[in-house]
Amino acid sequence: MNENLNKWLSNQFKGEKPVAPTPASPKQAKRKWLNKNKQNQPKLRIVGLGGFEEVGRNMMIFEYGKEIVIIDMGLQFPEGDMLGIDYLVPDISYLKGKEDRIRGIIITHGHYDHIGAIPHLMPELGEKIPIYATPLTLALIKKRQEEFGRSLNLRTINPDEKLKLGLFTAEFFRVNHNIPDCVAVALHTPVGTVVHTGDWKMDLSPINDKPIELNKIAKLGEHGVLALLADSTNAYKPGYQISERKIQESLDKIFIDAKGRILTATFASLLTRVQQIVTLSQKHGRKIVIEGRSMKNNIEIAKQFKYLKYPEKIFISAGEANKLPDDKVVIMGTGAQGEENAALMRIASKKHPKLSIKKGDTVIFSSSVVPGNELSVVTLVDKLYRQGATVMNYEMMDIHAGGHAKAEEAKLLVQLLKPKFFVPIQANHSMLCMHAQVIKSTGFPEQNILIPQNGQMMEFTPTQARKLDEIVIKKIIAVDGKGVGDVGPVVLDDRRAMASAGIFVVVLTVDSKNGKLIGNPDIVSRGFIYMRNSEKLIEGARQLTKSCYENHKKMVQKEVSKLKDILKKDLSNYLYKETKREPLVVPVVIKV
Amino acid sequence: MNENLNKWLSNQFKGEKPVAPTPASPKQAKRKWLNKNKQNQPKLRIVGLGGFEEVGRNMMIFEYGKEIVIIDMGLQFPEGDMLGIDYLVPDISYLKGKEDRIRGIIITHGHYDHIGAIPHLMPELGEKIPIYATPLTLALIKKRQEEFGRSLNLRTINPDEKLKLGLFTAEFFRVNHNIPDCVAVALHTPVGTVVHTGDWKMDLSPINDKPIELNKIAKLGEHGVLALLADSTNAYKPGYQISERKIQESLDKIFIDAKGRILTATFASLLTRVQQIVTLSQKHGRKIVIEGRSMKNNIEIAKQFKYLKYPEKIFISAGEANKLPDDKVVIMGTGAQGEENAALMRIASKKHPKLSIKKGDTVIFSSSVVPGNELSVVTLVDKLYRQGATVMNYEMMDIHAGGHAKAEEAKLLVQLLKPKFFVPIQANHSMLCMHAQVIKSTGFPEQNILIPQNGQMMEFTPTQARKLDEIVIKKIIAVDGKGVGDVGPVVLDDRRAMASAGIFVVVLTVDSKNGKLIGNPDIVSRGFIYMRNSEKLIEGARQLTKSCYENHKKMVQKEVSKLKDILKKDLSNYLYKETKREPLVVPVVIKV
């Protein structure tokens, strides 16, 4: 045992609480202290602040000793019962006080579930911390940042160069997705190499993008990988994802058959799809009108950074398009999810100043439907058909491929990387488990798969990995209008109650001198029933309120909130009995 | 021109308004009156009160002269923005005063979108009107009717016999769906034969059901069909529906692999799937616990009417199951849509008194996900995985087939029946149009396809068919708790507003003698923001209310509602400016 280690060990005694002596041989004692030593060596700590219980809000922290690297900083679009919320961002309270330890933030690609929380969280973390990304991703971050009017420390990733971040070294390999310039990260740490895929799929014949760098992946595998953190969004689906080349062939068939105008609806962020439409428009001699602010922005950025191949003058205005024959026009817009304010809905609802649907139009929905949007999409498609258009969607033809690896691709990645540990990331818990099952089927040992919760710390040594009990997130951070974090469970519960049966407010005016009711209680109800047709019900509620108040009016002096609880309970019971509905009942007591 | 026709023609003059004489040859005059004669001959009028703009609420009226036959009387489950509504039923105001002309109501099968409106509409139409259906369908109608405690005039259909209904004659042919005992109707009318498919698909190797009667269909085709009204739910999807035989094979594989208990979740109404689970349980030596009230009811009915083949003693209680080895148990329940109160959710949420999820359980989701339910299903599946279960769904294996004909089946039906006219029914407008496109691809003339709206009257002669401008429905009838028809657009709009940003009620107490405000305005808000953290905002709203009232207090005498409008507008603007949210603002003025 050398001097230094001895010194270090004795230091470990300081500040320790005395423990009852346990009988032990000198050998056991030595092993114990050596183990303790080992335990006190820094370990690699990895935690996902989001992305383990949802698709979205992706953000992972890698911590070794006093140094931290972050990968991705995304937002999550709200789920069905989060009424009125714009989106959710990760809770970064764990990083409070550790801001100066952050060596850098790596962003894998430019989609909002990976970049969207940047403008909300960076003011808190410190905008001097460098953010590293490929050129297109940086441009998209910059564009969004403009809305917030604050600057960032943005730095470019060259996927063929290593990046030193404190004691970490990051290496990159290109992956495919449905936007160009996506990278996966191999983070070399003191305990081993950890690979984070970001969003990925394998496309051996991609459109306007380089194929996934399988050779780099194989090389990483040869050198040894401690852990693979891999995208789970589609990993439970059997087979391989369809190549974008095949999608382009199907779209080509539609272009060949279309006799009138072609309208295409997709996400503005699917720049791969945008390229396909541009290529096909050029091939078939059509000009393109771009509709939708986000579509215009993204195409502008893609043009500027040369991520879009297009002939001069292919893009025209709506006014110019209206002068061309129908079979020379493509209108490319947002709105494939039936969003109220997106380009396609405005055109279909006759709210667009220059464009409307014509008989003979072919509308291509080139995207899948995000869960929760099915009914809006059906409403939109109904509108289109009513005006004489024909709609093509991915259920009829292969005109959309997802951006995420399916089961066979997930297996292939594991076979090439041969990681010691496997952590499925970026989806709901069940999808992570299904991904784990797929990986297990390759012979991967089940005990080496970790499936943590959001915020649950994981700890890695060169030979071991485990989930800790430590949960580092505390709450859900919702962005709603201007407010960040001011909408919580109570507000959402109230919104849900009102959504399902409305509100029923009873105003009691009380003489503060003698506690007597003045006049009749006023009743205000919204979203419950038609007040005009429900006089009997309202009168009943009024009488009930009066008699309930008479029975408990002593409470009006010092126990108003108790009084309100009683009124609320009695009225709720009455209304449920009469209508089988449960509006939110709110008693208001005014003393004059 | 014979005596009778002359007499008839002269009768036509009576009561006619005098018209300016037009110069015409005697020949022209004669043709004119003959045409008029023809026009006044009764025509077959067909109208769908629902099912032309939605999946559900199916009900069609067939009217010739003074005789009426009705096919189906279904409800529609509400769409995403119909907050808190239980379901919708057809508006039958067209039938008011015509009740005694109704010769009978034919029900094609026992699903709620075809039988669900019966208890709500029959009291109005008259419960003596005979309702005709096959035995299983009748049993399901009867079971539901028990909840309403009213009796009906139910009569059994024998699909091999003709049924005389006034001047109509109904003939039937069996079709497949995912419940046994489904029929399609060939209604022979004075102008020709009209075929109504109900819900159908073609299964040449069905489970516990007879195959579709293709020979009867071919025979109808030989004799000539005026119009085909055909199910459009899945007709836009390419190919043929999968046979239930194939589904059973896939389920069999899961039974072979499962080492622990098997839980199956499906709709209680999918009796075909229920039979498959029973058959496989028997084959693999497992006993079955039935969970969920509707599942128990439906199985009871199916057993009683011999629509379920099962060995004695296969059904056991939850208590008995808990004593058996895991690999001898199947738990068959409702809840494949993630419904809050269904069996599977209660088990997964530890709310079931006797059953909970165990590590090693295999849960089979044997149904598709109804649009709008995706997120609830993901939540449920997450819960199951957290407790150690493995989930199988239709995206992983062929363990569910829809109940509706796909494109190739739709074409086959048209090729066999060779109708003169085609009317796609039972889906959203766009799906009707897509169905029409599929039928057009067989060479069917486009001008012979009619796509009406809900409530739009169609008129048929032996050679012609057209849509009229006459719309016979007036409103949406919503059932919400005990109320039928008392929830309309205003109530729903309010619910939507409150769902997205809550409510903001301002109570102004006014001295009725001098019109002065008493004290500060009271503010009650729910589902908007945390009141406690928003003192500044609330105080601003209070000040605004006071100054706004001061400026307009003259209005408090005679123009209170105008005053409220002004308050509402000013407050809404203020709140939006400060929060970018739009709560429902409700001013209340109390005079004391």
pLDDT digits (tens, 9 = 90+) for A188-204: 999 999 999 999 999 99
Which of these, A185, A180, A176, A173, lies nearest to A104 by C-alpha position?
A185
- Spatial contact of B249 and B364, defined as CB atoms under 8 Å apart: no
Q: Please give the structure tokens belonging to residue B58.
A: 């199916």
C-alpha to C-alpha distance for B144 and A236, rounded to whole angstroms: 40
Rounded to a whole number of angstroms, the distance from the CA of A207 to the nearest CA of chain B is 27
Q: Is the pLDDT of residue A155 over 90?
A: yes
State phi, psi for A113 to the nearest 5 degrees.
-75, 0
B53 interaction partners in chain A (CB closer than 8 Å): 382
Architecture of the domain delimited by A488-591: Roll (3.10)
Residue range B71-116, pLDDT digits in tens: 999 998 766 555 666 788 999 999 999 999 999 999 999 999 999 9
C-alpha to C-alpha distance for A303 and A285, rounded to whole angstroms: 20
Contact call for A526 and B586, based on CB within 8 A: yes
Contact call for A526 and B498, based on CB within 8 A: yes
Query: Is A523 within 8 Å of chain B by CB?
Result: no
Q: Determine the residue type at B367.
A: S
End-to-end CA distance of chain B: 84
Residue range A222-238, pLDDT digits in tens: 999 999 999 999 999 99
Q: Where are the beta strands (DSSP E) in B201-345?
A: 225-231, 262-265, 287-291, 315-316, 329-333
Question: Scanning every residue of chain B, which has its alpha carbon at the shortest distance from the alpha carbon of A482?
Answer: B579
The residue from A120, A404, A480, A570 that is catalytic is: A404
Lowest-confidence range among A242-246, A425-429, B29-33, B258-262? B29-33
Rounded to a whole number of angstroms, the distance from the CA of A396 to the nearest CA of chain B is 6
State phi, psi for B262 to the nearest 5 degrees.
-115, 130
Query: Is B408 within 8 Å of chain A by CB?
Result: no
Residue range A78-89, pLDDT digits in tens: 665 556 667 889
Average pLDDT, chain B: 88
C-alpha to C-alpha distance for B323 and A233, rounded to whole angstroms: 39
State the pLDDT confidence band at A103, using cuts at 50, 70 and 90.
very high
- Spatial contact of A131 and A155, defined as CB atoms under 8 Å apart: yes
pLDDT at B469: 92
Which of these, A159, A197, A179, lies nearest to A60 by C-alpha position?
A197
Contact call for B507 and A590, based on CB within 8 A: yes
Question: Scanning every residue of chain A, which has its alpha carbon at the shortest distance from the alpha carbon of B384?
Answer: A430
Q: Which of A491, A499, A586 sits opposite B84 (nearest CB)?
A: A499
A583 interaction partners in chain B (CB closer than 8 Å): none
Greater confidence, A512 or B468? B468
Instruction: Give the residue extent of every domain in chain A.
Output: 2-40, 44-239+402-480, 253-286+315-385, 488-591
Which of these, B339, B538, B571, B529, lies nearest to A84 by C-alpha position?
B529
B253 interaction partners in chain A (CB closer than 8 Å): none
Same fold, A44-239+402-480 and A253-286+315-385: no
Task: Determine the CATH number of domain A44-239+402-480.
Answer: 3.60.15.10
Rounded to a whole number of angstroms, the distance from the CA of B402 to the nearest CA of chain A is 14
Rounded to a whole number of angstroms, the distance from the CA of B56 to the nearest CA of chain A is 14
Residue A185 bridge partners (DSSP): A172, A196
C-alpha to C-alpha distance for A417 and B156, rounded to whole angstroms: 67
Residues 366-405 of A with CB under 8 A from B: 371-372, 374-376, 378, 381-382, 384-386, 390-391, 395-396
C-alpha to C-alpha distance for A51 and A68, rounded to whole angstroms: 19
Query: Is B481 within 8 Å of chain A by CB?
Result: yes
pLDDT at A515: 85
Q: Are strands A153-156 and A130-133 parallel, antiparallel or unpaired?
A: parallel
Q: Which of B376, B494, B505 sits opposite A502 (nearest CB)?
A: B494
Query: Is A529 within 8 Å of chain B by CB?
Result: yes
C-alpha to C-alpha distance for A227 and A229, rounded to whole angstroms: 7
Residues A176-183 have a mean pLDDT of 94
Cα A406 → chain centroid: 19
Q: Which of A378, A390, A495 sits opposite B437 (nearest CB)?
A: A390
State the pLDDT confidence band at A20, using cuts at 50, 70 and 90.
very low
Q: Which of B433, B526, B529 sits opposite A486 (nearest CB)?
A: B529
Contact call for A527 and B494, based on CB within 8 A: yes
Q: Which of A494, A498, A580 sits opposite B495 (nearest CB)?
A: A498
Size of interface A-B (CB pairs under 8 A): 212
Contact call for A83 and B526, based on CB within 8 A: no
Query: Is B428 within 8 Å of chain A by CB?
Result: yes
B284 catalytic, yes or no?
A: no
State phi, psi for A431 to the nearest 5 degrees.
-70, -35
Which of these, A114, A235, A228, A98, lies nearest to A179 by C-alpha position?
A114
| Cα radius of gyration rounded to whole Å, chain A | 30
Question: Of all residues in chain A, what percent carry a pLDDT higher than 90?
Answer: 59
Q: Is the pLDDT of residue B34 over 50?
A: yes
Residues whose CB falls within 8 Å of the CB of residue B569, separated by 6 or more in sequence, listed in order:
none
State the pLDDT confidence band at B494, using cuts at 50, 70 and 90.
confident
CA distances from A17 to A20, A39, B147 (A): 10, 17, 69
CATH of A253-286+315-385 given 3.40.50.2000, 3.40.50.300, 3.40.50.10710, 3.40.228.10: 3.40.50.10710
A326 catalytic, yes or no?
A: no
User: Alpha helix locations (H) across A106-213?
Assistant: 112-115, 118-125, 135-146
pLDDT at A16: 38
In DSSP notation, B387-444 reads TT-EEE-TTTSS----SS--HHHHHHHHHHH-EEEEEEESS-HHHHHHHHHHHHTTT-
Residues whose CB falls within 8 Å of the CB of residue B524, separated by 6 or more in sequence, listed in order:
A505, A586, A588, B504, B505, B507
Residues 73-92 of B with CB under 8 A from A: 79-81, 83-84
Contact call for B483 and A381, based on CB within 8 A: no
pLDDT at B4: 39
